[in-house]
Amino acid sequence: TINQHSGSVRRLDHNNTGRTTAIMKITASFSLVVPALLSGTAYGFGLSMPGQAQALRLPTSAAASVSASNTRLAMSAVADDVEAKKEIEEADEMPESLVRDEDGPDGNYPMRRKMEQMLREAQISITESIEKIDGGATFHEDAWLRPDGGGGRSRVLADGKVWEKAGVNLSVVYGSMAPQALAAATERSGNRPEPGPDGKVPFFAAGLSCVMHPRNPLCPTMHFNYRYFETDGGIWWFGGGQDITPCYVNEDDMKHFHGSLKAVCDKHDPEYYPKFKKWADDYFKIQHRGETRGLGGIFFDDLDDRDPDEIFEFVKALSNNVVDAYGPIIEKHKDDEFTQKQKEWQLMRRGRYVEFNLVYDRGTIFGLKTGGRIESILMSLPETARWEYDHQPVEGSPEADFIDATKNSREWV
């Protein structure tokens, strides 16, 4: 998360006008970037511009995160464990690639380039599709670069007809981390690179993250994150997922969403969907409530058990499936009439969303524990939420059915 200001960056506004707007001064201390990348809770990977998050109310990501067993990294880590402090340059336009040209024998340069290009294309395709569905607002773009490689691009839609907040954010990051931070993040994989002379492990990470909060309580919130992480010395893995947070149970909608994810998973490995669905159900649990934040999806991390090109194709297929899984549900319900009671219920469920992010989400916890920039850390939260003392849905009501679905995991397909 940006927590120091000097240097320079140019904010780009591509609201179909090609205009270049405010120039800002900034130096980024990216000490919070890596835990967010590792967890998938990227928040634009901490690269938001000072003063812009509040003005645009940008949500970046509450994307899929690693299992709760890894939260000790967030609770105990210090900023010095992860470092990628670089001066940011003005970015009149995005270069062809944010990957360093010299990433040859010491890294999987072809995969780094291929992953970045795939994520760029997915970002453009997803935001264009969402604009069409919204029918009102368009995405604004922020871009930034760093002299020795890396940077990012945020696309933000605010105050739309359908979405109150929507953001799709690309980041390519270089830095280094202490071995203990890497060990906590890769405990399932077991692969451990050797640290360099300074005791830290150089890394590369690229990811695309998103969160979308619609206005209509009959339209679900959605987020996703897909990422690739690599250290010098050849240790690599993929991670990501997509999940959905409605306010009411709609069997047809859930069959569509989960069925769409399962269809992609099944083409690559029949064991993927049941394994990754359970992982998502387990992670997105609000432990103190005994309920999940939403109605699940898929989540995976440390995926390195087969040829990297094979996993890349899986991640690419999922990225290209984001709108197919989510868009038709929004199209179906965006014009549905709703009551004040349903709106209040949506706000209460958003309260649960806030509780999960602030209490359990590893990226959020890490940022708060290490003095990160609050506006950037909390950007994934909805604009409004509601808490009522000891609220209990009426037995047999649609609200009660939803609570049951969050307490007792259901099989949708």
Q: How would you class 317 by CB atoms within 10 Å of its CB: exposed for 0-12, middle for 13-18, buried for 19 or more?
A: middle
Query: What is the reported pLDDT for 8?
Result: 32
pLDDT tens digits for 160-179?
A: 999 999 989 888 888 877 76
| 26 Cβ contact list (under 8 Å, min separation 6) | 2, 5, 6, 7, 8, 9, 49, 50, 88
The CA distance from 169 to 147, in Å, is 20
Residue 142 has pLDDT above 70, yes or no: yes
Per the annotation, the verdict on 5 as an active-site residue is: no
Is pLDDT larger for residue 231 or for residue 61?
231
Residue 49 has pLDDT above 80, yes or no: no
Is pLDDT larger for residue 3 or for residue 152?
152
| 310 Cβ contact list (under 8 Å, min separation 6) | 268
Q: Which of 237, 253, 235 is closest to 245 using CA atoms?
A: 253
The CA distance from 32 to 83, in Å, is 8
The type of residue at 171 is S
pLDDT band per the 50, 70, 90 thresholds, residue 357? confident
- Classify each residue of 394-405 as buried b or exposed e, where b means 16 or more C-beta atoms within 10 Å of its C-beta: eeeeebeebbeb
Coil vs helix vs strand at 130: helix
Among 5-9, 173-177, 242-246, the minimum mean pLDDT is found in 5-9
Average pLDDT, whole number, for the chain? 77
| 249 Cβ contact list (under 8 Å, min separation 6) | 295, 398, 401, 402, 405
| Joined tokens for residue 136 | 């009102």
**Could you tell me which residues are beta bridge partners of residue 171?**
152, 207
pLDDT tens digits for 321-346?
A: 999 999 999 999 999 999 999 999 99
pLDDT tens digits for 183-211?
A: 655 555 555 556 666 667 888 889 998 98
Among 42-51, 306-315, 396-405, the minimum mean pLDDT is found in 42-51
| Joined tokens for residue 234 | 């050849």
Element (H, E) at 297: strand 297-303
The CA distance from 259 to 123, in Å, is 23
pLDDT tens digits for 66-106?
A: 333 333 333 333 334 455 444 555 456 777 888 887 665 46
Catalytic residue among 223, 256, 258, 333: 223
pLDDT tens digits for 260-286?
A: 999 999 999 999 999 999 999 999 999
